[in-house]
């Protein structure tokens, strides 16, 4: 676990990712430069990798896609992601999401 990877902001959690498009699998493969390193099959063309990134994170975090937003980095490999709990203001849900995200970094 990396301290400071996940920050609480505006009722959700924000964390950095580094995307590697055109990979052979969709998977989190650890940390790179303080960000979750995520391999995605989709190419970085026409928003395909961003769409797959949101789908992958939604499945991994067991959240609807509408709960995940790319805050910055839509056209680059380094991105800031915001996830919001299903229930607004749910401290229990925020703790569950934080735990999953931090465990992915190991």
Residues 22-67 have pLDDT tens digits of: 999 999 999 999 999 999 999 999 999 999 999 999 999 999 999 9
Position 2 in a domain: no
Position 67 in a domain: yes
Position 23 in a domain: yes
Distance CA 22, CA 19 (A): 10
Two tokens at 23?
């990979």
Distance CA 85, CA 92 (A): 9
- Of 61, 83, 59, nearest in space to 70 by CA: 83
Distance CA 8, CA 32 (A): 21
- Is the pLDDT reported for residue 87 higher than 90? no
CB 18 within 8 A of CB 35: yes
Position 1 in a domain: no
Domain count, the chain: 1
Provide the domain limits for residue 30. 7-104
pTM check: above 0.85: yes
Domain CATH code at residue 79: 3.30.1200.10
């Amino acid at each position: 676990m990396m301290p400071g990877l996940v920050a609480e902001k505006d009722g959700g959690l924000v964390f950095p990712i580094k995307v590697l498009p055109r990979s052979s699998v969709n998977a989190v493969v650890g940390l790179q430069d303080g960000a979750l390193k995520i391999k995605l099959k989709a190419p970085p063309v026409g928003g395909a990798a961003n769409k797959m990134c949101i789908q992958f994170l939604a499945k991994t975090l067991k959240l609807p896609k509408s709960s995940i937003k790319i805050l910055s980095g839509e056209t680059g490999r380094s991105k800031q992601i915001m996830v919001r709990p299903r229930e607004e203001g749910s401290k229990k849900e925020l703790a569950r999401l934080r735990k999953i995200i931090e465990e992915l970094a190991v």
